[in-house]
Amino acid sequence: MKLSVVIINYNVRYFLELCLQSVKEAIQAMDAEIIVVDNNSVDDSCEMLKNRFPEVILIENTDNVGFAKANNQGVAKAKGEYVCILNPDTVVGVDVFDTLISVADRLPNVGFLGPRLIDGTGNFLPESKRNIPSPLTSFRRFFKIRLGNVKSYYADHVLEEEIGDVDILVGAFLLVKKKNYLTIEGFDEDYFMYGEDIDISYKIKKKGLQNYYVGEITAIHYKGESTDRNAVYIQRFYGAMRIFYKKHFRSNWFLDKLVSIAIRLVSVIQSFRNYDKEKRIIDHYYLVSDNHNVWERLCDKVNQRIEKVSIESIVNLGDKNIEIIFDNNFISFTEIIRAIQNLKTSNCTFKIRPANCDYIIGSNFSDGKGEVLVF
Residue 198 pLDDT exceeds 60: yes
CA pair distance 65, 3, nearest whole angstrom: 24
Task: Check residue 189 and give its pLDDT.
Answer: 83
Give me the pLDDT at residue 138, please.
57
3-state secondary structure 200-230: HHHHHHHCCCEEEEEEEEEEEECCCCCCCCC
User: Is the pLDDT score of 16 beyond 80?
Assistant: yes
Judge contact between 260 and 242, C-beta under 8 A.
Answer: yes
Count CB-CB contacts under 10 A for residue 200.
28
Query: What is the enclosing helix (H) or strand (E) of 65?
Result: none
Which of 36-40, 131-135, 219-223, 253-257 is least confident?
A: 253-257
- The residue with greater pLDDT, 269 or 172, is 172
Q: Mean pLDDT score of the chain, rounded to an integer?
A: 87
pTM of the model: 0.86
β-bridge pairing 163-166 and 210-221: antiparallel
222 touches 125 (CB < 8 A): no
Q: Is 320 helix (H, G, I), strand (E, B) or coil?
A: coil
Q: Alpha-carbon distance 201 to 206, whole Å?
A: 9
* Among 58, 93, 74, CA closest to 5: 74
Per-residue b/e over 148-162, b at no fewer than 16 CB within 10 Å? eebbebbbeebeeee
pLDDT in tens, 269-322: 655 665 556 677 899 999 999 999 999 999 999 999 999 999 888 877 778 899
Q: Which amino acid is at 198?
A: I
Task: Write down the pLDDT at residue 270.
Answer: 58
Instruction: Specify the pLDDT at position 226.
Output: 46
DSSP 329: T
**Per-residue pLDDT at 221:** 97
List all residues 6 or more positions away from 374 whose beta carbon is below 8 Å from its beta carbon.
358, 359
> Which of the four pLDDT bands, split at 50, 70 and 90, describes residue 124?
very high
74-104: per-residue pLDDT in tens?
Answer: 999 999 999 999 999 999 999 999 999 999 9
pLDDT digits (tens, 9 = 90+) for 204-262: 999 999 999 999 999 999 975 545 554 455 555 556 666 666 666 666 565 566 656 66
323 and 361 Cβ atoms separated by less than 8 Å: no
